[in-house]
A and B are shown apart, each in its own frame.
Chain A
């Protein structure tokens, strides 16, 4: 299984986690994040537009950077595109490492960069209205913490 998948189909979180658990006992921790479409504000559907090719390469750059920063034993990112409805899964990030701090931190790092750099765009539908989601400045702030000298 490749590390990064951009796909229309849903994913199976249990199978993704099981695949990160390699059975050798080296990984003492697996941290995961699953993003789900929220139905707030009367949201009826969400369409995810993306830039094929650049999504994969941009995420790969940050996966490589995460591997330089933390001792990662396994890494998996799945991001869906196309039509989604409230309750649908959008994204999976899973990181396996020897200890929990590295797994938690790498998963957060990957999500922060995914949200601010990977070329995806959300179109929200509420009844007859369709609006492109605007980028949040909080997401830009979240990513800054990884740019401080360590």
Chain B
């Protein structure tokens, strides 16, 4: 799966995107976040308060209950502030 990070989520993690194999036990965005939090201090800091994070799966806004599959593009970012 392809993971993308934007704004301060990207800054905290230190990279804008990465490709990972579907981790064992990951079925939803929430379980993916659990997995990512243990990947390093930057990830732990970025996902410290998941209530601050929004998610898109395959470029569609969704929530942490969404099911994720191998090959999905999953993006994590703060609430949007364009316009």
Q: Which residues of A contact B (CB under 8 A)?
A: 35, 48-51, 53-55, 57-58, 79, 90-91, 111, 114-123, 132-135
Contact = CB atoms under 8 A, between A and B. Distances in A.
**Size class of the contact patch on chain B:** 10 to 19
Contacts of A54: 56, 59, 75
A114 B82 contact: yes
Interface of B: 4, 6-8, 10, 56, 59, 61, 75, 77-83
Contacts of B79: 134-135
Contact of B7 (A35, A49, A91, A116): A49
- Chain A contact residues: helix, strand, loop or mixed: mixed
Contacts of A133: 81
A35 B83 contact: yes
A119 B78 CA distance: 9
A118 B6 CA distance: 13
A37 to B, nearest CB: 12
B56 A119 contact: yes
A118 B80 contact: yes
Contacts of B59: 51, 53-54, 57-58
Nearest to B80: A119
A114 B78 CA distance: 15
A48 B4 CA distance: 17
Given A51-B4, A121-B6, A90 B80 contact: no
